[in-house]
Structure 1
Amino acid sequence: MNLNYPIELIPDKKAGGYTVTFPDVPEAITEGDDLDEALLRAADALETALEFYTAAGKALPKASKPKRGQHTVRPCAQACIKLGIYEAMRVQGVRKSELARRLGWHMPQVDRLLDLHHASRLEHAETALHALGRRLDVAVA
């Protein structure tokens, strides 16, 4: 699952800084006083926008291939894992109650696992992915 989304950086010639938009996620828009701040805020804006999709039970937008030299932004690693669990559930038609049953968990545990802002344990995410017939592959670049 690719969650590296290309961004458009629009310089503000009058005030300085940048506006950041995501061609694949139109709900995500932010700005920063310089490039570093704009990129940092872009990750937060992306996570927030993707939460709208999960709350509505919608498919996550596909990340397009970036153009040469185009910046990309992705959610933090933990959010990527949680979004992977969400998308696997959505594709398979597995509801939270079914995942809780498969794992022998209570519903609040599944809710926390899918909450992008809750610090879940990695082994819980791996267990949930296994219950969905998926696995977690990690790469450091």
Structure 2
Amino acid sequence: MQTTYPALVTHQDNGALLVTFIDLPDTFTEGDTLEDALFNGTEVLSAMLGWHLDQGSAIPQPSVGVAGAYYIAPDAKTQSALLLRCARGDRPVADLARGLGTSWAAAQRLEDPHHWPSLKQLDRAARVFGKRLVLSVE
């Protein structure tokens, strides 16, 4: 699954750069420079995806191939929570807990965007769902 979301950056009358996310219309921010705007984009994307994860609400898949868009990724802990939620799909958290040999609460924490799971925990959780953990540095 891709975790980078397309964002459009437009110039405002006041000189600021407005960042809007195509797939998340309630998610936007701005910055004085492109660097600031994209940094703020990461921050607001992480916060809004975290809020959606906390609420248990559906999170849209990111659009691909959007012309003129900047693709922005949320922070690492939000990405890991989002990826595990997607890998689990409609299966209950109890399936993950059983596969890991741990409690429901411990398994649920892996999908908490405010929790920093270890790489070992993420790798084991991915294997429960027949997936593998792949890391990337950009």
Answer whether TM exceeds 0.5 for this pair. Answer: yes
What residue number does 1:55 align with? 54
Aligned-pair distance for 1:69? 4.4
The number of equivalent residue pairs is 138
Whole-Å separation in 2 of the counterparts to 1:133 and 1:82:
17
CA contact (8 A) 1:17 1:35 kept: no
What residue number does 1:109 align with? 106
Q: 1:80 aligns to what SS in structure 2?
A: helix
1:14-46, CA deviations, whole angstroms, 9 ceiling, x for partnerless residues? Answer: 2x2212110111121112222111111111211
Runs ≥4 in structure 1, deviation > 4 angstroms?
none
Q: 1:9 aligns to what SS in structure 2?
A: strand
Percent identity between the aligned chains? 31
Aligned pairs for 1:1-141 within 5 A: 1-14=1-14, 16-89=15-88, 91=89, 93-141=90-138
Q: 1:39 aligns to what SS in structure 2?
A: helix
Gaps of 5+ in 2: none
Gaps of 5+ in 1: none
What is the aligned-residue RMSD (CA, Å)? 2.0
CA contact (8 A) 2:17 2:33 kept: yes
Tell me the amino acid that sits aligned with residue 23 of structure 1.
Answer: I
